[in-house]
Amino acid sequence: MSDDPSSSTPSSRGQEKSWFEKLMGGFSAEPKSREDLIKIIKDAANNNLLDEEAVSIIEGAMDVQDQQVRNVMVPRSQMVVVNLNDDPEAFLTKVMESGHSRFPVVGDTIDDIKGILLAKDLLPLILSGTKDFRLENVIRPASIIPESKRLNVLLREFRENRYHMALVIDEYGAISGLVTIEDVLEEIVGEIEDETDEDDDESFIRKVADNEYIIKALLPIEDFNEEFGAQFSEEEFDTIGGILMRAFGHLPQRNEHTDIDGYTFRVLYADSRQIHLLRLTTPGPH
C-alpha cells in the first residue's frame, strides 16, 4: 500500500477536512466577552489540546488583571519589620525565626520606611561580627505603591525593575501592608510552597497571641473541636475550610472574616480555588 498522502480515499480526505474545519471553526469567531474566551479555552481542554492545570493558570492570569493590590497584600498588622536602630542581636533573631528573605526596614514608626533588607545581605554580619556592620549600608531602596494598583501592572513592574517586594500605602499615605511577587504569582498558579514552609500536622495550628491562632483551612473539624473545645458538626464537612465556605457563601478574599459560635475566622490567604490560611480568635482561654 502506498504511503503517498495523495492516495487517501475521498472518504478519508473528507473526514480529515471535516475534522480540520471543525477545529478551526472553534477559533474562527473572535470571542466577544470573557465568558466566550473561557468557553473556547475549556473546549480546547475537552479536546485534549490543553490540560486542566494549563486552563487553571490561564484563568488565574485573566483574574489578575481584574484585581488590585489591596486584594492580596499582607496587611500592616502581619508585617515582619526590622527597625533601623535595633541591635544586630535583636533583628538577627527576628530574621531567623520568621524564615522570610526580605524585610521592610523602618525608623521610629512603621510608616517611616527606610528601605528593604535582604536576608542574604546579613552574611557579612554573621561572618565578621558587628564591629563594622551598619544596617543602613546594606538596605535597598523601597518601592511604595497604592492599594489600588492592578496586579497585572505590578507584576510587569516587578519584572522590569527586578524587585520582589513593595510597600503599600492607603489613601492617606500610611503604610497599609506589603506585597511580594510571590503573592501575585500565587494568584495565577496557586500556592507556592518552598523548603521553609511547614507541612506537618503540627503546623495546622500555631498560637500567635492570647486567644489568637494561625490555622490551616485543611484542619480537620475533629482536631479543631478537640483543640479548642468547640462542637462544630462533622456531618457535612471534614475540614474547617468547608464550614467557612458555607458560612461565607462564596470564595472569600484575604481579610474577609466571619463569626461562627463565638469563633472569629479571618482569611489570611485564599487563591481562586480555595481557602488556605486563617487567623482564629477564640472566645476565651481554653
pLDDT tens for each residue of 19-68: 445 445 555 557 777 777 778 777 777 777 777 777 777 777 777 777 88
Q: Do 86 and 180 belong to one domain?
A: yes
Q: What percent of the chain has pLDDT over 70?
A: 80
pLDDT value of residue 268: 82
pLDDT value of residue 17: 46
Mean pLDDT lowest among 100-104, 224-228, 240-244, 270-274: 270-274
**Choice between 83 and 65, residue whose per-residue pLDDT is larger:** 83
pLDDT value of residue 263: 95
**Choice between 197 and 153, residue whose per-residue pLDDT is larger:** 153
Q: Taking a C-beta distance cutoff of 8 angstroms, is the pair 186, 86 a contact?
A: no
Domain end position, chosen among 42, 64, 86: 64
pLDDT tens for each residue of 110-126: 999 999 999 888 877 76
Q: For residue 194, how many other CB atoms are within 10 A of its CB? A: 8
- Report if residue 2 sits inside a domain: no
**Cα separation, 74 vs 254, whole angstroms:** 9
- Report if residue 219 sits inside a domain: yes
pLDDT tens for each residue of 135-146: 888 899 999 999
Q: Do 27 and 86 belong to one domain?
A: no
Letter for the amino acid at 178? L
What mean pLDDT is reported for the chain? Answer: 80
Q: Which residue segment(s) compose the domain that 150 sits in?
A: 70-189
Decide: residue 255, CB within 10 A, 0-12 exposed, 13-18 middle, 19+ buried: middle
- Report if residue 7 sits inside a domain: no
Q: Do 272 and 167 belong to one domain?
A: no
Q: Do 42 and 101 belong to one domain?
A: no
- Report if residue 195 sits inside a domain: no
Report the CATH number that the domain containing residue 205 is assigned in CATH. 3.30.465.10
Letter for the amino acid at 241? G
**What phi, psi does 200 have (nearest 5°)?**
-100, 170
Report the CATH number that the domain containing residue 149 is assigned in CATH. 3.10.580.10
Letter for the amino acid at 24? M
Top-confidence range, 52-61, 93-102, 190-199:
93-102
Instruction: Report whether pLDDT(163) > 50.
Output: yes
- Report if residue 10 sits inside a domain: no
**Cα separation, 268 vs 255, whole angstroms:** 6
Q: Do 184 and 92 belong to one domain?
A: yes
Q: Do 233 and 214 belong to one domain?
A: yes
Q: What is the mean pLDDT of residues 82-89?
A: 85
Q: What is the mean pLDDT of residues 106-111?
A: 93
**Choice between 249 and 190, residue whose per-residue pLDDT is larger:** 249
List of E strands, 107-187: 113-118, 144-146, 165-169, 175-180
- Report if residue 27 sits inside a domain: yes
pLDDT value of residue 195: 43
Q: Do 25 and 83 belong to one domain?
A: no
- Report if residue 55 sits inside a domain: yes
pLDDT tens for each residue of 196-239: 454 444 457 888 778 888 888 889 999 999 999 999 998 888 89
Q: Do 26 and 118 belong to one domain?
A: no
Q: Do 76 and 180 belong to one domain?
A: yes
Q: Do 206 and 276 belong to one domain?
A: yes
Letter for the amino acid at 16? E
Q: Do 256 and 154 belong to one domain?
A: no
- Report if residue 1 sits inside a domain: no
Banded model confidence at residue 15, pLDDT cuts 50, 70, 90: very low
Domain end position, chosen among 164, 189, 214: 189
Instruction: Report whether pLDDT(258) > 90.
Output: yes
pLDDT value of residue 129: 62
CA dist 204 → 97, 193, 218, 247 (Å): 18, 15, 8, 20
**Cα separation, 74 vs 119, whole angstroms:** 19
**Cα separation, 218 vs 186, whole angstroms:** 18
Q: Taking a C-beta distance cutoff of 8 angstroms, is the pair 205, 217 a contact?
A: no
Count of the separate structural domains present in the chain: 3
Q: Do 42 and 153 belong to one domain?
A: no
